[in-house]
Amino acid sequence: MTRTVAIVGSGYMGGGIAQVLALSGARVALSDISEEVAQKSYQRLITESRDFVSAGLFPDGATETIEKNIFAAASVEAAVADADFIVEAVPEVLEIKNDILTRISTAAPADAIIGSNTSTISIGEMAKSVTNPERFLGVHFSNPSPFIPGVEIIPHTGTSDAVVATAQEIVHETGKETAVVKDVTGFVLNRLQYALFHEATQLVEEGVATPEDIDTLVRTTFGFRLPFFGPFAIADMAGLDVYNFCYKSLQTDFPERFATPKVLSDLVDAGKLGTKTGAGFLNVPADRTPELIAYRNKAYVAMQQLMKDLGPAPLN
């Protein structure tokens, strides 16, 4: 069955999401403040797609698929009238989003799933503007949406489990991965991203290192691991007892900023020290450690080669 999708807001994020869904085989109605704006965005997406194909970023035939599967709708109401799945991608202003969500709710089928691409605004707050709010949730793609594989799925307290499952299925059909997180301020992605940025700015303000040197360290050390392992996998491999000790060292100068997380100290007190004991945050069996180390080493060498092949980013 071909999915019928509507994208409301055809800017950089909305347009990219439209490309992603169109390439997965969905029929996508692209809408904006006017049909003229939506049509201009459609033409931009075609031009971008040709460039991406030429650069080897999209597969051969992608532009033809996008041309066939996306069309500019006459209005928001026309776009959503027959949609099964709707993504709102208008500016990050609650009043604008509430107005659009009201219009979508009025014009869309009563059972159409409505997702917001917001990165910061409460899903529960926006749900007040949606009729049948159990079909509403956050579906947060990252910029640039055609190329970043992770998507946050954010139900509010009233979102139905079936809607969450269907939204995940639709995203998975595009080849992306999903993580279901709770509707809290900043969700997960931005809380982590801004926590790192905050500490980085502290180091600059304290004169510990320059922005350039901090970026170099992040890229070439723990950031180098992150495409393959998240923070809990990294901690388990390092040893949770080591992490516990390092927290105590950090507390000599920053007792409050680096207070030991209770979830970490509880695991250490229970003798669950990560992969070396077969139990930690992720409970990787100890007998799989050699396999895990072999994968890790292969991944890091491949990443080093990729960086060499690409060369440095054109920041200077």
Find the catalytic residue in 98, 132, 160, 190.
Answer: 190
Residue 316 falls in the annotated catalytic set: no
Would residue 34 show up in a list of annotated catalytic residues for this protein? no
User: Could you say which of 41, 142, 152, 244 is catalytic?
Assistant: 152
* One-character DSSP codes across the chain: ---EEEEE--SHHHHHHHHHHHHTT-EEEEE-SSHHHHHHHHHHHHHHHHHHHHTTSS-TTHHHHHHHHEEE-SSHHHHHTT-SEEEE---S-HHHHHHHHHHHHHHS-TT-EEEE--SSS-HHHHHTTSSSGGGEEEEEE-SSTTT--EEEEEE-TT--HHHHHHHHHHHHHTT-EEEE----TTTTHHHHHHHHHHHHHHHHHTTS--HHHHHHHHHHTHHHHTTT--HHHHHHHH-HHHHHHHHHHHTTT-TTTTPPPHHHHHHHHTT--BTTTTBSSS---GGGHHHHHHHHHHHHHHHHHHHHHH-S-S--
Q: Which of 24, 119, 145, 244 is catalytic?
A: 119
Residue 152 designated active-site? yes
Catalytic entry in 41, 49, 140, 145: 140
Clarify whether 140 is annotated catalytic.
yes
Catalytic residues: 119, 140, 152, 190
